[in-house]
A and B are shown apart, each in its own frame.
Chain A
């Protein structure tokens, strides 16, 4: 089955800096890669996703890149703010019908004012 590795497990940055979280996946059949933000005591919220036919996608301060050949994808957050502090999860799926998501172990991002 699919295996998703996520690094780093924790990331501390100063407000205004950029943050990068990286994930690798094992199953070349995976073609959908969402990123979720989870605040303490809440469920994960989808923040951005990318499909395998696209190499990069941006949404304001958030961007995701995908390298299909190397089977890795990354989340980039620019101009970080304290409210960006949360746990971020990457995931991968084949997205065929209602296939399951395989999650990375998560990255706790701490943005200091």
Chain B
């Protein structure tokens, strides 16, 4: 299957600082990437949809000024958690969509980033 690489896999930062998470599609071009947040023992919660070259579409309740998303190229999307606070500690996961020869779009996920704000 396709490879989506997410970096870093874990990060610890001080309260008030900003953290950038990268999501790369390694062997395909992804015009659309998705960012999720996952709390322990819970499902994935969609935060935003990122389209290359345009502004991200945020889900209701997600602060766009808090979670900055940039999708500057067809293989890279970044999520920046600005002025992080302990309540932002979570597992963040990206996914990238790729059309297949079968005429459907498959979603491939990165390995996730564990963010801990102290």
Q: Which residues of A line the B interface, CB within 8 A?
A: 32, 34, 36, 41-46, 49, 51, 89, 95, 97-101, 103-106, 108
Known: A32-B104, A42-B112, A43-B4. 14 other contacts (CB 8 A): A43-B95, A43-B110, A43-B111, A43-B112, A44-B93, A46-B1, A51-B102, A89-B43, A89-B44, A100-B34, A101-B95, A101-B107, A103-B43, A108-B41
Residues of A contacting B: mostly = loop
In the assembled complex, the CB of B77 is this many whole angstroms from the nearest CB of chain A, namely 13
* Selected contact of B97 from candidates A45, A98, A105, A106, CB within 8 Å: A98
How far, in whole Å, are A51 and B104 apart by their CA atoms in the complex?
9
The CA-CA distance from A89 to B109 in the complex, in Å, is 13
Q: B111 — which chain A residues lie within 8 A by C-beta?
A: 42-43
Q: How many residues of B contact A (CB 8 A)?
A: 27
Q: State in angstroms the CA–CA spacing of A99 and B91 once bound together.
A: 23
Given contacts A34-B107, A42-B111, A46-B108, contact A98 B31 (CB under 8 A): yes
Partner of A44, one of B42, B44, B97: B44
Chain B interface (Cβ < 8 Å from any Cβ of A): 1, 4, 6, 31-32, 34, 41-44, 46, 49, 91, 93, 95, 97, 102, 104-112, 114
Question: How many angstroms from the CA of A49 to the CA of B97 in the assembled complex?
Answer: 14
CB contacts (< 8 Å) of A104 on chain B: these are 43
6 cross-chain pairs, A with B, having the tightest CB-CB distances, nearest first: A98-B32, A43-B109, A43-B112, A105-B43, A43-B111, A98-B97
Bound Cα distance A42, B9 (Å): 9
Residue of B1, B41, B44, B105 with most partner-chain A CB within 10 A: B44
